[in-house]
Every structure is written in C-alpha cells, then in structure tokens.
Amino acid sequence: MPEAFEFSTRIIDEYAGLFHSAMFNIGADETFDLGKGASKQQALKSGVSNMYADYVSRLCEHITRHGGRPMFWGDIAISMPEILDRLPENGILLNWQYSPEVNEDTIKIVADHGVQQYVCSAIHDWNNLLPDYEAAWKNITRMDEFGLRHGAIGAMVTDWGDYGNVNDPRMSVPGMIYGSQYSWNPHGPGFDEMNRRISRLEYGDMSGEYVDTLVQAGNETRFSWADMVTYRELDDGNGGLNDDVSRMLEATFGQDRWNADGITTVAEARERYLKTKSESLRDSGGCDERLAQLAEKLGTILSRATHANDAFNSAQAQLIAIAGQRLFNELGDALAVNGRKIEETSRSSGLGNAGYALASRIEEWFETYRSVWRQVSRESELRRIADVIWDYADMLRRSADSQEHHNDGLRP
C-alpha cells in the first residue's frame, strides 16, 4: 500500500537525523498478520513472501539512498529462505535465535546465501524478576561460536522485557559481560569460572560466589511475572474469556493440555492454567526458604565487597527482585490452593486474614520496587506493572472479605 510505505519512510527520515550512526534498524520482525485482513487480496496475487521481500527491499533502498545502512530482524526472512537472495547487498540481517539449545542451521542458511548477518543472543530475563543466567550463557556462547564459524560480521546480546519490562536493567549485567567475553572467544572460560571472574571484577567479591548466588536464585522461580500477567489477562477486561490468550496457551501447551474450544469461562481457564503450574508450585515452601537464604548470603558477600558502593547499587535491585519472587511464588501457591474460591469470591470460601496479609506485603514490596525502578529508569511502563500488582491485591482482599462475611453469618 503506497500510504503505508510513505508513512514508514517519513518516520525513518524523522528519526535518522537524531543519531550519529549510519546503521538503521527497520525492525521487520514477527509480521504474522501479513497477507491477512486488508492485505489478503494482495497476498493472493503476489504471495506473502514476495510482499515481504518487496517491502523490506524498498525500505532498505530508501535508507541506502540517504547514506544509511539498513538492518532488519531475520526471523521472517529465514522462514522464507527463497527471498534471501532478493535482499539488499548492504543490508544486515539480525539473526536472532534465543534457545539455550540453539543449533547453527539458520546461521548457515544465511551465510550460504551470502547475506551479511549479526548473530543475536539473549540474556533470558524477559518476564522475570530474576534472569536465567545459565540459559543466557548457553545461548550466547553457542550463537557466538556459530557466528564465527560462518563469517558473521557482528554479534548482539539482546535484553527484552515484555509485559511492562519488570526486569531491572542491573540484573542484565552478567549476561552483557558474557556477550563481551564470548563474542571474541566463544571457547573461553566455562560457566562456573566465568561467574567467579564476574563476581570478583564486577561486584568486588573475592570469594567468587556472588554471581553463582544469583544463578541459584533464578532457579527458584515458581510463579513468574509472565504467569501473573497471563493468569490476569485470561479475563478480557469485561469478565469474559480472552480467546486470544487462550489460543496462545493452546499453541504453547498443545491441545492435549489446553483445548481452547473446551474452555468457555475465565474461571475454567484460570483453573486449567494453574494445573499446568501445579508441579512447580508444589515446592513453593522450600523455594521460599532457599530464596531467603540466598538473599542473606548476598548480604554477607556484599559486606565484604572490595568496592562496596558499586556492588550495593546492583545488590539493592537484586535483593528487591528476590523479595518480589518470594511473594510471587506465594501468590501462585495461594491461587493454586484457593484459585476457584478466589475467582468466585463466594460467601462460603476465601483466604481469610492470609489474603489481607499477602495483599499488603505485595503492595509494600511494590512501593520499594517503584523507588528502585526510578533510580535507573523513567516512568515508561511502571504504571502497567502497578496495575497488575494492584489487581492481585484487590483479588486477595475480595477473597478475604468473602471469608469474613461468611464467618459473620455463622455467628449466633
């Protein structure tokens, strides 16, 4: 559509002048609705792959004419490798593959077509207070090795934060350091040794245990921020089932575990979702104790740090994340045990005083989290995070109120 192209080029022209770099990333990823809706008729005539290749090529040519060098995310192009030969010669394909078990197939495909590429790995902190550092390490080292093997011209470590970007950027530092090390030597120190070095150099911990403590904490996530948002958004905002979320979960879990056609109410969907989490939530008590011990260990290490001021800046965010994960795990356990009771908020059931207490602790935690957020970030998505926290606090209090009213009705 001419109007869409004109709109895109106008945005490019407005933004390009704000930066010194000639590199310009046009995005072009996850175009799942291309060839559907308004573009369906065009797709029937020319094909989705041709539509994508034509549009991306025209945008890249526009950037080149103005002295820039285009970059674009490669997931769609790789899924239609027949278009790789049609992409601009000076374009850089950003080949993002985030699985810890990633193989070299897509990197080789791009290289075989003569397309220049960056290999793009990830820190594995999205939708979580505590990153999965081991998954990040595996992903980063493998992508860097494959990139060197197949002549990639660069490497990028990405840091994503869906659902409000709850993950504090200071939690990403170990992952960024992984990228700095392995982009030039993917056969460098092993995971444990690398973490010992980061502990000493970044956090001033001569014992070398600091990052390993963070690794252990990340392994204790039982009910994540993604779980909280997904559970909440199964409600479409008007009390009805959010079919889009339900369909997404069917694609994630498979039809055997999540049959979207057989689920008709929010309560049914949320109960089914909690069943998918039942195994991980079973150990929430032991998990809470381990997180408490790990937080205490971080504090002890911090007291001996050789550059305490820098370490304290990061440790504050890390300890807040651990405290929050303890509460999220407790919330998940409360939902699993009392989920339908909370959903129905009937006069005969509820969490009682425990609901009031947990709601208050979650809100108090968030006020501390908010102040720590503002140390390094602007408001941005903070209000969206607040909305989720407050909704759960209200949910817990409604359940507690129903229990109190029920008790009143039983009194003589």
pLDDT tens for each residue of the chain, 412 residues long: 678 899 999 999 999 889 899 999 999 998 888 888 888 888 788 888 888 999 999 999 999 998 999 999 999 999 999 989 988 888 999 999 999 999 999 999 999 999 999 999 999 999 999 999 999 999 999 999 999 999 999 999 999 988 999 999 999 999 999 999 999 998 899 999 999 999 999 999 999 999 999 999 999 999 999 999 999 999 999 999 999 999 999 999 999 999 999 999 999 999 999 999 888 888 777 899 999 999 999 999 988 888 656 677 889 999 999 999 999 999 999 898 775 555 554 333 455 678 889 999 999 999 999 999 999 999 999 999 999 999 999 999 987 666 554 444 433 3
pLDDT at residue 411, rounded to an integer: 36
pLDDT at residue 406, rounded to an integer: 45
Q: How big is the chain, counted in residues?
A: 412
pLDDT at residue 330, rounded to an integer: 94
In angstroms and rounded to an integer, the radius of gyration of the C-alpha atoms of the chain is: 24
Q: Contacts for 54-60 with beta carbons within 8 Å, 24 or more apart? A: 55/5, 56/26, 56/28, 56/87, 57/86, 57/87, 57/88, 58/5, 59/5, 59/8, 59/9, 59/12, 59/26, 59/28, 60/26, 60/87, 60/88, 60/90, 60/91
Q: Can you identify the CATH homologous superfamily of domain 2-206? A: Glycosidases (3.20.20.80)
Q: For the chain, which residues make up each domain, given as ranges?
A: 2-206, 225-410
Q: Which amino acid, 51?
A: M
pLDDT at residue 297, rounded to an integer: 96
